[in-house]
């Protein structure tokens, strides 16, 4: 649960400081819709609060609309919709457990406090109203607000509006108070600030000799079959493969058909007809074109030469005369109506002669999948599912009868998300992991990405038990492992010779021979040049005394490093006064966030929750949000 909360910190903060408007619908002890529920309509109960399906779905629909608006009205994938269901349930739990805590602590808002909040912390919904904003700056104008409030008694509409805002503020303020109370318990000590500052600014001067295997001189090394067999036998766990699944599936794609092409073609012809009636090309482009990159500019493409546009478009333009309207021209993007405005000659890129460029505008009418086509595809998918799941017809025979292709996908594991040839389809993977051998999806599985939509009907072909992969299958992996091990051994030989010379009394520079010695500053929490971030090595360096040496230290299969302390760590206090406030604020924000997360986690752990969402959303895997 803690990991989930930490991953959803934005949801937590939104709940605590931005979602209070939704909270005013709750009256403790009543259900969230204010109507009597039958158990069949209940998505669940949170702290004895009944959650009606219609209310919960309305919250989800609002959120889905927001998400679609963020994604240029693209249809959301099933994984995105599943995430919304999880998030909205999480928000409900958070809202209600905090509401219970507010009630328990008996927070209240006096009239004086209400006036203070209006004047010092007016809610966003108030500040966004133009009537309360400065006519020049567009900012909330407190004086203007007070003036309108003073005369609100003469205007019932404004009076009722302000009463509604008052209710929001009275509901909102206790949540701000309890949040402030929780946040106040997060304190940052002077020692913590200095420890953080020292971690970045207390630096030891170190001489380093690093040698990585990529710097080895070229050497041909080909492991023998005996060496590979011996390595394989001693590393069987490395080649163990967990239980996997194999499916076959048919994808019924919702893609434009002939009827959709005809609709788009007729729309393009309608544009040409309007042009013949005297409409301006630029105005029609702004209204009808689906090329968002230039429709607001009236479809203006500027000047372009040959090779810049797809060939059918290019041919139509460069075979026309200035002033011509050509089209509809079909390309992979749809149908284009093009107005050629002018031509010019420019110096050729190779400096030889002139190249011709055209200036044109266009209106793009895309070929989109229409409802008739979608209905046909959906009917095909359901017919196929019925044939194989209910009528027992062989999967391949049923596919052949509908002239559809059967695809296969194997090696499906617990963490698999993508289906080869399609993309992300968690529901299909989920079916494969739960099904028994030979089982078919009892209904088509919805598949939706921004570029591809349709239905999947799948059959589990077989379950492959956990096993150690055959040597022949992993031979190339074994070979690579042996080559890497050989390189590391050779690297170690070089660095060990350097270290041996150091033990004989030679200086680091003399012992390095042809290897380079770098003198660098190393902070406790910083990165080491040519090594990277290695907190273990940093810690070792900061425990050394001047002259002490760290023997060859392995850099995770990359190579080795030898380090010698040249100067003890010194704290660079330059800018400490300025940095202290920055560090303090950052640490405080982290502590406050963690404090709120921990507080909410504790409230949630003790909450009484009955979750019936699986009955209403059977296609979603809602178990992964559990602790």
Model pLDDT for residues 176-225, shown as the tens digit of each residue: 888 888 888 888 888 888 888 888 888 899 999 999 888 888 778 899 99
Q: What is the pLDDT of residue 536?
A: 93
Q: Who has greater pLDDT, 18 or 284? A: 284
The more confidently predicted of residues 165 and 373 is 373
Q: What are the residue boundaries of the structural domains of the chain, listed by start?
A: 2-106+600-621, 111-170, 202-219+472-571, 244-254+378-465, 258-365
pLDDT in tens, 358-373: 999 999 999 999 999 9
**Does CATH number 3.10.50 belong to domain 244-254+378-465?**
yes
Of 21-35, 43-57, 351-365, 455-469, the least confident: 21-35
CATH topology of domain 202-219+472-571: Chitinase A; domain 3 (3.10.50)
What is the arithmetic mean of pLDDT over 545-551?
94
- Angle, vertex CA 122, rays to CA 120 and CA 125, nearest 5: 170
The rounded mean pLDDT for the chain is: 85
At what angle are helices 111-120 and 142-150 packed, to 10 degrees?
A: 140
Beta-sheet pairing, 609-611 with 445-448? unpaired
Q: Residue range 333-349: average pLDDT?
A: 92
Q: What is the reported pLDDT for 39?
A: 53
pLDDT at 236: 96
Which of 427, 125, 107 has its CA nearest to residue 247?
Answer: 427
8 A C-beta contact, residue 335 and residue 264: yes
Residue 26 has pLDDT above 60, yes or no: no
Give the model's confidence band at 103: pLDDT under 50 very low, under 70 low, under 90 confident, else very high.
confident
- Three-class secondary structure of residue 276 per DSSP: helix
Q: What's the half-sphere exposure (Cβ side, CA atoms, 13 Å) at 1? A: 14
What's the confidence (pLDDT) of residue 252? Answer: 95
Closest among 432, 422, 440, 517 to 208, alpha carbons compared: 517
> How confident is the model at residue 492, as a pLDDT?
95
Residue 24 has pLDDT above 50, yes or no: no
For position 40, what pLDDT does the model report?
Answer: 65
Close Cβ partners of 252 (under 8 Å, ≥ 6 residues apart)? 377, 378, 380, 381, 384, 404, 444, 454, 455, 456, 457
Task: Tell me if 399 sits within 8 A of 298, measured CB to CB.
Answer: no
Instruction: Give the lowest-confidence range in 31-35, 291-295, 385-389.
Output: 31-35
Which of 239, 358, 365, 378 minimizes the C-alpha distance to 302? 358
Per-residue pLDDT at 48 exceeds 60: yes
Helix (H/G/I), strand (E/B), else coil: 391: coil
pLDDT at residue number 117: 81
State mean pLDDT over 130-154.
80
User: In angstroms, what CA-CA distances link 1 with 4, 294, 364, 605, 616?
Assistant: 5, 48, 50, 9, 23
The residue behind tokens 């567009």 is 138
Domains 202-219+472-571 and 258-365 in one fold = yes
Find out whether 316 and 327 touch, Cβ atoms under 8 Å.
Answer: yes
Instruction: Say what the pLDDT of residue 38 is.
Output: 46
Length reported for the chain: 627
Does residue 255 or residue 166 have the better pLDDT? Answer: 255
Q: What is the mean pLDDT of residues 428-436?
A: 92
Encoded tokens for 412: 């499906």
Q: From CA 523, how far away is CA 540, in angstroms rounded?
A: 12
What CATH architecture is 258-365? Answer: Roll (3.10)
CB 75 within 8 A of CB 447: no
- Measured CA to CA, the distance from residue 68 to residue 513 in angstroms comes to 63
pLDDT of residue 152: 67
Q: In this predicted structure, what is the pLDDT of residue 131? A: 81
Q: Half-sphere exposure (CA, 13 Å, Cβ side) for 478? A: 23
Report, as an integer, the average pLDDT of 138-156. 79
Supply 143's token pair.
Answer: 């004086």
- Rounded to an integer, the average pLDDT of 104-126 is 81
Whether residue 583 has pLDDT greater than 80? yes
Confidence of residue 153 (pLDDT cuts 50, 70, 90): low
Say what the pLDDT of residue 185 is.
Answer: 86
496 burial via Cβ count (<10 Å: 0-12, 13-18, 19+): middle
């Amino acid at each position: 649960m803690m990991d989930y909360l930490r991953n959803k910190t934005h949801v937590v903060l939104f709940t605590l400081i931005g979602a209070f408007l939704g909270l005013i619908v709750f009256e403790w002890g009543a259900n969230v819709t204010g109507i009597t529920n039958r158990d069949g309509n209940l998505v669940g109960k949170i702290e004895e609060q009944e959650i009606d399906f219609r209310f919960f779905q309305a919250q989800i629909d609002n959120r889905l609309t927001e998400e679609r608006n963020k994604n240029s009205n693209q249809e959301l994938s099933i994984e995105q919709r599943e995430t919304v269901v999880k998030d909205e349930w999480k928000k409900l739990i958070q809202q209600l457990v905090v509401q219970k805590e507010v009630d328990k602590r008996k927070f209240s808002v006096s009239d004086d406090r209400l006036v203070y909040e209006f004047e010092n912390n007016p809610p966003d919904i108030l500040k966004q109203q133009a009537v309360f904003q400065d006519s020049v700056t567009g900012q909330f104008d407190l004086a203007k607000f007070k003036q309108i409030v003073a005369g609100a008694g003469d205007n019932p509409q404004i009076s009722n509006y302000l009463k509604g805002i008052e209710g929001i503020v009275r509901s909102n303020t206790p949540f701000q108070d309890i949040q402030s109370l929780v946040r106040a318990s997060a304190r940052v000590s002077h020692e913590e600030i200095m420890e953080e500052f020292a971690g970045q600014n207390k630096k030891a001067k170190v001489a380093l000799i690093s040698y990585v295997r990529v710097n080895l001189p070229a050497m041909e090394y080909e492991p023998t079959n005996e060496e590979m067999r011996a390595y394989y036998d001693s590393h069987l766990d490395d080649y163990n493969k967990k239980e996997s699944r194999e499916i076959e599936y048919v994808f019924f794609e919702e893609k434009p058909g002939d009827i959709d092409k005809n609709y788009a073609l007729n729309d393009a012809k309608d544009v040409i007809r309007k042009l013949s009636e005297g409409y301006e090309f630029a105005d029609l482009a702004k209204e009808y074109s689906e090329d968002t990159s230039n429709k607001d500019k009236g479809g203006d493409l500027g000047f372009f030469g040959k090779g810049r546009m797809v060939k059918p478009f290019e041919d139509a333009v460069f075979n026309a005369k200035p002033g011509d309207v050509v089209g509809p021209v079909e390309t992979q993007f749809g149908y284009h109506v093009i107005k050629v405005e002018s031509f010019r000659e420019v110096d050729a890129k190779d400096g030889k002669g002139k190249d011709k460029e055209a200036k044109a505008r266009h209106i793009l009418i895309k070929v989109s999948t229409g409802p008739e086509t979608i209905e046909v595809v959906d009917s095909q998918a359901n017919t196929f599912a019925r044939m194989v799941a209910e009528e027992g017809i062989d999967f391949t025979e049923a596919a052949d009868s509908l002239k559809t292709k059967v695809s296969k996908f194997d090696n499906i594991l617990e963490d698999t998300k993508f289906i080869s040839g399609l993309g992300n389809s968690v529901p299909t993977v989920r079916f494969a992991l739960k099904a028994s051998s030979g089982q078919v999806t009892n209904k088509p599985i919805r598949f939706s990405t921004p570029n591809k939509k349709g239905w999947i009907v799948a059959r589990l072909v077989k379950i492959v038990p956990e096993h150690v992969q055959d040597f022949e299958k992993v031979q190339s992996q074994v070979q690579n492992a042996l080559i890497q091990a050989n390189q590391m051994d050779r690297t170690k030989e070089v660095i060990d010779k350097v270290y041996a010379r150091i033990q004989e009394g030679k200086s680091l520079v003399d012992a390095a021979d042809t290897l380079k010695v770098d003198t660098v500053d190393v902070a406790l929490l910083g990165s080491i040049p040519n090594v990277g971030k290695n907190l273990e090595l940093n810690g070792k360096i900061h425990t050394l005394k001047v002259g002490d040496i760290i023997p060859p230290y392995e850099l995770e299969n990359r190579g080795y490093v030898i380090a010698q302390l040249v100067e003890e760590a010194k704290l660079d206090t330059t800018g400490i006064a300025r940095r202290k406030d920055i560090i303090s604020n950052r640490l405080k924000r982290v502590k406050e966030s963690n404090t709120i997360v921990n507080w909410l986690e504790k409230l949630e752990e003790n909450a009484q929750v009955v979750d019936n969402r699986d009955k209403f959303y059977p296609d979603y895997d809602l178990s992964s949000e559990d602790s």
